[in-house]
Structure 1
Amino acid sequence: MTNRMSANPTGAYGPDEPLWETGRMARTFETVGVVGLGTMGAGIAEVFARSGLNVIGVEADDAALARGRGHLESSTGKVVARGRMSTQEQTALLGRISFTTSREDLAGADLVIEAIPEIMEYKRALFADLDRICKPSAVLATNTSSLSVTAIAAATSRPAQVVGMHFFNPAPVMRLVEVIGTVVIEDGLAAEVAGLARRLGKTPVTVGDRAGFVVNRLLLGYLNHACVLLESGLSSRDDIDVAMKLGLGLPMGPFTLLDLVGLDTSYEVCEVLFRESRDRRHAPAPMLRELVTAGLLGRKTGRGFYSYGEGTATVPEAGPKAAVSVAGIVGGVPEAARLLTDLDAAGFKAVVAEPSDLTPVADADVVIALSERPVIELAVRLPHPERLVGLHLVGDQVAEVASTVLTSDEAAGAVRDLVTVLGRTSVRCGDRAEFVVNALLYPYLNDAIRMLDSGYASAGDIDTAMRLGCGYPAGPFEMLDVIGLERVRDGLRALYAEYREPSFAPAPLLDQLVTAGVSGIRAYAR
């Protein structure tokens, strides 16, 4: 086998690397085995059968097999009910799937993919057995979401023919498939599996074998960080969720998402990430551990960060009401001018001051410091420091209202009322570097830059993975180019100065790009 791993660590071929250069014909995958027919495995079997492939579904016993068949009948039945499939097509699809409790029936399969629990010992034992049963040319694939594909492959005598093929739940709906190559994968195999994913109507991204791959490695770092900020008292559960959902346009806030994923699953993925990276950012937050230990796992147990089944939603309490006759604004010219215009249109009198001279706002009922950084330094320079409140406008819908240790409840409540009048949702928080949204967003972007710099995934694949895998409106590099590299770099420096967390230090690549005057990271990544 030609060793081309130094140039292409995932074994994937670009347009200038045709498969015939390897001296062999590309495989054809016509019969596929799926081991494990739980919700995920049944969904994977459905995806293959929908594309005309013959599928052999394997379960441990008759009861589990019946449940797996039930998953498939229920899932396809819903598609029929929505008018997207006829009953004849459903019958034909199910007819392409055979059900068995014997792994020996996989002997003739071209590819076998496992979807069993995320326990390394179970997967290695299964792959050792599949290696014995399956024909020499068969490819063995794992649907693991975070475990080492290399370690699983090492349990076989054919590690070059083992690949990761990570589908997302629900598999029939989610378009993304992460194709994971190892340092020993056969040249071209990752590209062939990616081609199979496209045949299934999916969008593949080809990455190297790192814990969590792309989506879980980036997502769980962010979710775990949200838990840490909640524990620190920076902001409330509801305010953080609102800030990230409305401020960034994410499908849901971090705590709602953790409850949906399952706190036990999230905890286990964090453990896997930490064992490999030894990065404190991946060490499960104590709050997450406590909830898991208490059996509060999210939606599936009826309670996690939120309680479910009561038919009511938790709404943040309204702040105290206070009349404002004069508002002082301190901050940069564009932001201050915008807020001044909005307040004037709403009928409020406002005056503006620069941070270098606070005299114009000294007697205002409240003083609003437009900032993403701690504002206590400004407060202590005022005759009434209790009247100063930090304000960070996020997008068009959210305003973070930051109270210093001196801010009065009346002043904070008055600014929240002003924010409501201006048609924004207020997010209450403490006076910490980058407040809430940027404090969660910038380290996530930094993680993506480190991932790119490590060379195991491209900028385009990382963006695609986060958009399709998480439903984000934009990938991390698309966000970076909109925000600006220098602004993110400076924000990370402020976070590092505040928290002294090593992972908050700007990635070396980010520092270099800013120093070199590179306008956008996607232009560099090409």
Structure 2
Amino acid sequence: MKRTFETVGVVGLGTMGAGIAEVFARAGLRVTGVEADENALSRGRGHLESSTGRAVARGRMTSEQQREVLERIAFTTSREDLADADLVVEAIPEIMEFKRDLFADLDRICKPSAVLATNTSSLSVTAIAATTSRPGQVIGMHFFNPAPVMRLVEVIRTVVTEEGLPAEIAELARRLGKTPVVAGDRAGFVVNRLLLGYLNHACHLLQSGLAGRDDIDTAMKLGVGLPMGPFTLLDLIGLDTSYEVCEVLFRESRDRRHAPAPILRELVTAGLLGRKTGRGFFSHAGEGTAPAPEALSKPAISLVGIVGDGPAAASFAAGLDTAGFKAVLAEASDLGPVADADLVIVLSDAPVVELAVRLPRPERLVGLHLVGESVTEVVSTVLTSAEAVTAVCDLVTVLGRTPVRCADRAGLVVNALLYPYLNDAVRMLECGYATAADIDEAMRLGCGYPAGPFEMLDEIGLAKVRDGLRALYAEYRDPAFAPAPLLDQLVTAGVPSIRSAG
């Protein structure tokens, strides 16, 4: 028989728990909010009054609606008051021992038909369910912060979840005005598993000297269209939270990319946790005072050699000509025409040092990779002079693009971060963990990405991503960079789109 959820309990009324209680109350459900003591209960009530007050101030709720929402919520310090709840959602700190103790207690208190849900963002729902006599009625219901605003809810099923329960919880999420995605019980679920792998990988690339903090952030924000760069996002999430999630991911996957990067550990140990402490990867003390932009100056260059073929090289040379620079074109097979150029620019998304050693003055060669409409990765080899890099950055800026400095390594910045993230999504799909549509939806709604990973894959091209991953694997020898078997097979079979492949 299909369940109906009319009375809901929320245990833990911190910022997240109070937001979840508000979401249920806004949808017309009766809510019992539980906290450990009167002080915590008072803070929880304050969170709800503040949140609904802001909604009234912004015209998203009337004062009468605010009153009705708050009246639907009963506040208590006694778990026994949850005895008649149809559903109880746990929103206490991410400590497995605390959650298991709570669920054992809820199992004793709640009626036999009640569903027990955890809002954990990364811990094992199966391990939590195992403490109860009703593991089939325990499920993950992961809201995103702030719960009243964020549309996504991850619904997490375990191997013992009762048939039909995930669909019922997903329907409840839609009743709340949310968009549910259903996934299996793997550490990090969908969003955190993909997001933290990418963020931690950015930390490893920073430590390796591939590029600087600001260059990596700029590349991913302006080049890929993400809402913010990885280090800005890490500071927003909190470096301690990110570190803890990476630890959970690594304990399950044993994937080196999930092992917290040493720089992340060092910052956490030093208490530099991001925005909440005023400093993390960035200092947040003087936010709001942006430095004045530097005036552009035209580089003093007489002749620029452009190495590359196809329309990209011709278009770049035409842009230089329009800006008043003399350019000469050459192909990689014959560098003779550019041997005497003041600068030699190679348009490539692959390492270029092999071309530099073929020039009489290799220190003049710089690689360029055009990313999107506005970003250019400026690639220096171990032979490139600082003067050449500076001149090319100035040249790129004069042409109206944003330069991102990086070392001459496979994938450069954008592809070295983007392709493994896409590969992770393919592996997630491959093991039946979630559908391509749900994974895309989760990353769009949970992270604000302009497109989901499978939409990105289809736009870039499966073969191009596969080949890029092979180049990364050849350089770094990290198993995580080896193309997922499904990706390899689809390319071999000539299938153009993972989403159309089903």
| TM-score category (smaller protein) | over 0.9
Residues 104-115 of structure 1: pairs in structure 2 closer than 5 A:
104-115=80-91
- Offset of 1:318 from its aligned partner? 9.7
Q: Is the 8 A contact 1:401 1:412 kept in 2?
A: yes
Q: Distance in 2 between matches of 1:332 and 1:49?
A: 61
Tell me the distance in 1 between the aligned counterparts of 2:418 and 2:410: 12
C-alpha contact (below 8 Å) 2:298/2:398 kept by paired residues: no
Match of 1:374 in 2: 351
Matched pairs, number: 501
Shift of 1:351: 1.1
2:481 maps to amino acid: F
- State the identity as a percent: 80
Which amino acid letter does the alignment assign opposite residue 132 of structure 2? T
1:321 and 1:414 in contact (8 A); partners too: no
Q: Determine if contact 2:123/2:188 at 8 Å carries over to the other structure.
A: yes
Corresponding position of 1:445: 422
Residues 157-176 of structure 1 correspond to what in structure 2 (within 5 A)?
157-176=133-152
Q: Which of residues 429, 435, 438 in structure 1 aligns to 2:412?
A: 435
- How far is the alpha carbon of 1:206 from its aligned partner? 0.4
> Could you say what secondary structure the match of 1:328 adopts?
strand
Q: 1:191 aligns with which of 167, 187, 191?
A: 167
> How far is 1:332 from its partner?
3.1
Distance in 1 (alpha carbons) for counterparts of 2:188 and 2:223? 26
Alignment of 1:15-164 (within 5 A): 25-164=1-140
Deviation at 1:316, TM superposition (A): 10
In the alignment, does 2:269 pair up with 1:293? yes
Partner SS for 1:249: coil
User: Cα 1:318–1:125, aligned 2, differ >3 Å: closer, same or farther?
Assistant: farther
Is the contact made by 2:299 and 2:395 (CA closer than 8 Å) also made in structure 1? no
Residue in 2 aligned with 1:256?
232
Unmatched 5+ residue regions in structure 1?
1-24
Pick aligned residue for 2:252 from 270, 276, 291:
276
Relative to structure 2, which stretch is displaced further, 465-474 or 506-515? 506-515
Q: How does 1:393-472 map to 2 (within 5 A)?
A: 393-472=370-449
**Contact 1:319–1:416 (CA<8 Å) still a contact in 2?**
no
Query: CA separation in 1, counterparts of 2:315 and 2:197?
Result: 34
Amino acid at match of 2:393: R
Deviations 1:147-205 (A, max 9, x none): 00000000000000000000000000000000000000001000000000000000000
Task: State the Cα RMSD in Å.
Answer: 1.4
Instruction: Return the alpha-carbon distance in structure 2 between the equivalents of residues 350 and 26 of structure 1.
Output: 72
* 2: CA distance, partners of 1:321 / 1:259: 36
> How far off its partner does 1:334 sit?
2.1
CA distance in 1, matches of 2:300, 2:407: 23
Q: Deviations over 1:323-359 (max 9, x none)?
A: 1121111123122112112112212111111111111
Indicate which of 323, 327, 336 corresponds to 2:304: 327
CA spacing shift, 1:304–1:321, aligned 2, 3 Å: farther
- Partners of 1:361 and 1:409 lie apart in 2 by 20
Displacement, 1:314?
A: 7.5
**CA contact 1:239–1:316 (8 Å) conserved in 2:** no
Alpha-carbon offset, residue 320 of structure 1: 10
Aligned to 2:455: 478
Q: 1:434 to 1:314 in 2, by over 3 A?
A: farther
Distance change >3 Å, CA 315–CA 152, structure 1 → 2: farther
1:319/1:413 contact within 8 Å kept:
no
C-alpha contact 2:12 2:91 (8 A) present in aligned 1: yes
Moved over 3 A (4+): 311-322
The residue type equivalent to 1:461 in the other structure is D
**What corresponds to 1:7 in structure 2?**
none
Unaligned ranges ≥5, structure 2: none
| Pick aligned residue for 1:182 from 158, 171, 178 | 158
CA contact (8 A) 2:305 2:327 kept: yes
Amino acid at match of 2:327: A
State whether residues 161 and 186 of structure 1, in contact with CA within 8 Å, keep that contact through their aligned partners in structure 2.
yes
Structure 2 counterpart of 1:15: none
Question: How far apart, CA to CA, are the structure 2 residues paired with 1:370 and 1:156?
Answer: 60
In the alignment, is the contact (CA less than 8 A) between 1:320 and 1:414 conserved in 2? Answer: no
- Which residue type is aligned with residue 496 of structure 1? Y
Q: What is the aligned partner in structure 2 of residue 16 from structure 1?
A: none
Question: Which amino acid in 2 is paired with 1:205?
Answer: V
Partner Cα separation in structure 2 for residue 65 and residue 370 of structure 1: 61
Q: Distance in 2 between matches of 1:328 and 1:131?
A: 73
Cα distance in 2 for partners of 1:316, 1:258 equals 26
Report the equivalent of 1:487: 464
Which whole-Å deviations, capped at 9, do the CAs of 1:384-424 have from their partners, x for residues lacking one?
Answer: 11110010100001000011111111111111111101111
Residues 1:517 and 1:223: Cα distance change in structure 2 (over 3 Å): same
Verify the 8 A CA contact 2:296 2:398 in the aligned structure 1: no
Distance 2:11 2:83 in 1: 13
Q: Secondary structure at the match of 2:122?
A: coil
- 356, 375, 397: which one pairs with 2:333? 356
Q: Do the aligned partners of 2:226 and 2:450 also contact (CA within 8 Å) in 1?
A: yes
Give yes or no for the alignment of 1:306 onto 2:288: no
TM-score normalised by structure 1 residue count: 0.94
Please give the per-residue CA displacement for 1:244-270, whole angstroms capped at 9, x wherever unaligned. 000011000000000000000000000
Alignment match, 2:198? 222
Letter in 2 for 1:78: R
Structure 1 residue 319: Cα displacement = 11
